Amino acid sequence: MTTETPFKIKPLGKFNYPEWSGEVKAFLMRQNLWRLVSGKESRPDEAEKAESWDKRAEKAAGDIYLLVESEQRVHFRGFEEDPQQMWKLLEQAHLSKKLGA
C-alpha cells in the first residue's frame, strides 16, 4: 500500500530503512513538512500560528503512518500524532539493528 503521492514509495519494512528514509524525507520536503519533522521548525507560541503548525504536524504524522508497514508501527505506538517522535523512533529502531549486527 502506498499513500497518495506523485511517486511510488515502498512502505517501510524490516530491510529497506535507508531507501525509505531518503524517499520519505524528500516527499516531506516537497510538502513543506520536513523542517517540522526534523525539529528545525518549533511549534510557535502564538495561538493562530500554533494551530497551523498542529495541522501540518498531523499531516506529516499521517503521511509517515501510511508509509510504514503495519508490523513497523509498533516502534512508534503511542506517538501517532507526533511526527518528530515517530521519525526518531523509527530511526532508532532501524539504525540500532544495523549497529548491533
Note the pLDDT tens digit of each residue in 11-27.
Answer: 999 999 999 999 999 99
At 39, which amino acid appears? G
At 36, which amino acid appears? L
* Distance from C-alpha of 54 to C-alpha of 16, rounded to nearest angstrom: 29
1 falls in which pLDDT band (50, 70, 90)? very low
* Distance from C-alpha of 38 to C-alpha of 71, rounded to nearest angstrom: 24
Task: Decide if pLDDT at 5 tops 90.
Answer: no
* Distance from C-alpha of 77 to C-alpha of 91, rounded to nearest angstrom: 14
Q: What is the pTM of this model?
A: 0.88
Is 90 within 8 Å of 76 (Cβ atoms)?
A: yes
